[in-house]
Amino acid sequence: MTSRCLFAGPSARLCHEDGAALVTALMAMLLLSALGLALVLTTTTETAISNNFRSAEEALYVADAAIERTMQDILTVPDWNNMLNGSAKSAFIDGVPDKRTLTDGKVLDLAEATNMANCGKVTACSTAEMDAVTEDRPWAKNNPRWQLYAYGPANDLVPTGTLNSNMYVVVWIGDDPSDNDDNPLVDGNAQTNPGTGVITLRAEAFGPGGAHKVVEVTLARTDSTEIERGYTGQRGQDEQNRRARKAAVQTPGKSLQRQELTVATGTVQ
C-alpha cells in the first residue's frame, strides 16, 4: 500500500519527513541538558548546605572553647568589678579592639558588635536604649552592659597551634541579670542580692559565609572548702559537684561490700 501527497505546489512540502531526525535529536539534547543542569544545581545546593552546617557547628564549638579559655583569666581577677566596668581585660586579645577582616574578606567591627549585643544596633548605645525592656533584655536597669573582655582568632585559643579554624571569636562580660541593685557595672555586695558573686559571659564566633553562633553562660564564685581554692563554678551545681568529688564511690575491680544498719542497736554490721 502506498501513500500519496494530497497537496500540490508549495504545500506539498508538508508531506516530506526530511529533518525529522534532527528535530528529535535536538529535543533529546534539550532534555538531557535540563537533567544535567538539575543534577549540577542539586549537587551545588547540597554542598553549600553541608558547608553551612559544618561552619555553624564549628562556630558553636569555638564559642564554647572561648568561654573555657576566658575562665582561666577570670580566676586571676580578685575584683570582678574591674571586669564589669571594662578596666580588666583577658590575656587573649590580638591588639587594639577595632576592625578585623575575616577569611572571606568580610569586616568585623568589634565596637559595632558590642553595640549590637547591648542595644541591637551598630551605632553607640544610649543609657535609655540599654535600659529598655526588650524580649532579649527584659531586666531594664539590670540589663547587662557587655564589656569587651577577650577577642582573637580561634587558632590562638590553644598555644600549641594545633587548631585549624577560620573562626574569629569575641567574649564579653556583663553583670548577671539576677542582680537587683540597678547598677550593672558593679557586682552586688549584699547577702540578700541573688546576683552577688555572679557574672555572665557572652561568646560569639564569626566565620566565613556568615557563620555566627552565640553562647552565654553564668559564672558564680563559691566559698565551699570542698572545691579547689579559686574555682569558679560554671554551668550550675553539677559542674561543681564533679570537681569537688575526691574519690570514686566504689573502687573498680573490688568486690562490693554489704552493710546493714540495725534498727534496735543502731550499729553497722
Chunked in runs of 10, what are the mean pLDDT values of the chain (269 residues)? 55 60 82 85 78 88 94 91 94 94 94 95 94 92 95 91 89 91 87 86 93 92 52 43 41 44 50
Give a yes or no: residue 227 inside a domain: yes
**127 falls within a domain:** yes
Q: Is residue 94 part of a domain?
A: yes
Whether residue 34 is contained in a domain is answered as no
**Residue 70 maps to a domain:** yes
Q: How many independent structural domains does the chain possess?
A: 1
Enclosing domain of residue 190: 48-244
Measure the CA angle with vertex 51, ends 47 and 55; round to 5°: 175
Domain membership of residue 255 (yes or no) is: no
147 burial via Cβ count (<10 Å: 0-12, 13-18, 19+): buried
Query: Can you give the pLDDT at residue 250?
Result: 40
Q: Examine residue 258 and state whether it is found in any structural domain, yes or no.
A: no
Backbone angles phi, psi at 58, to 5 degrees: -65, -40
* Burial (CB count within 10 angstroms: exposed 0-12, middle 13-18, buried 19+), residue 237: exposed
pLDDT of residue 89: 93
Residue 25: inside a domain, yes or no? no
pTM of the model as a whole: 0.69
